[in-house]
């Protein structure tokens, strides 16, 4: 069985770059997309994945020319990770974000503090938190490093 990734990302350009990189690095992989918190939840319930790679901040619903995506969830990826762990699917979780710090409802977290909290909350499912900067390639190296333990038999 080949690697199967779920990408939960609302930003088209970032999503396409991550998918392109995964297909280049893992030529036999299958990539499933979700563009919002709700779509990510649906995919997790419908299927098994080797790893779920997601943004930290997500709209509630898929955006369209006539839909705004609903409430923006600063920690939407974190909320989704809790559902993944509760489901006990065996999928590994990797976060990729463009933000260096996060603030929601008066609570602020640095990148490092969030990484520590996610590691504690996700336990063995947690692969890491990657800082995505489209002008640099460091994110690619980090993705490879964090996905290093994933193998063909990891899917569900």
Residue 95's beta-bridge partner residues? 54, 129
pLDDT for 15 equals 97
Q: Does residue 155 lie within any of the structural domains?
A: no
pLDDT for 114 equals 92
Cβ proximity of 97 and 130 under 8 Å = yes
| Total number of domains in the chain | 1
Residue 75's CB is within 10 A of a number of other CB atoms, namely 21
Helix, strand, coil share (%) of the chain residues, nearest 5: 40, 25, 35
Residue 108: band (very low, low, confident or very high) from pLDDT cuts 50, 70, 90: confident
Q: Does residue 154 lie within any of the structural domains?
A: no
Would you say residue 66 has pLDDT above 90?
no
CATH of the domain at 101: 3.40.50.2300
Which residue in 46, 35, 134 sits closest to 83, CA to CA? 46
Domain range for 31 is: 4-147
pLDDT for 152 equals 55
Q: Does residue 70 lie within any of the structural domains?
A: yes
Give 17 or 149, the one with higher predicted confidence.
17
Residue 80: band (very low, low, confident or very high) from pLDDT cuts 50, 70, 90: very high
Q: Does residue 68 lie within any of the structural domains?
A: yes
């Amino acid at each position: 069985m080949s690697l199967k990734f779920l990408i939960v990302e609302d930003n088209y350009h970032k999503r396409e770059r991550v998918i392109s990189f995964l297909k280049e690095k893992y030529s036999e992989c299958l990539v499933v997309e979700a563009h919002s918190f709700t779509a990510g939840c649906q995919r997790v319930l419908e299927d098994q994945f080797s790893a779920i790679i997601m943004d930290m901040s997500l709209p509630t619903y898929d955006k369209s020319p006539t839909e705004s995506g609903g409430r923006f969830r600063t920690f939407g990826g974190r909320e989704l990770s809790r559902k993944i762990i509760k489901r006990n699917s065996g999928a590994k979780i990797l976060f990729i974000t463009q933000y260096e710090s996060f603030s929601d409802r008066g609570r602020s977290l640095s990148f490092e503090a969030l990484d520590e909290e996610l590691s504690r909350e996700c336990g063995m499912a947690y692969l890491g938190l990657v800082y995505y900067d489209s002008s640099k390639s460091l994110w690619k190296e980090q993705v490879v490093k964090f996905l290093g333990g994933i193998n063909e038999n990891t899917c569900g």
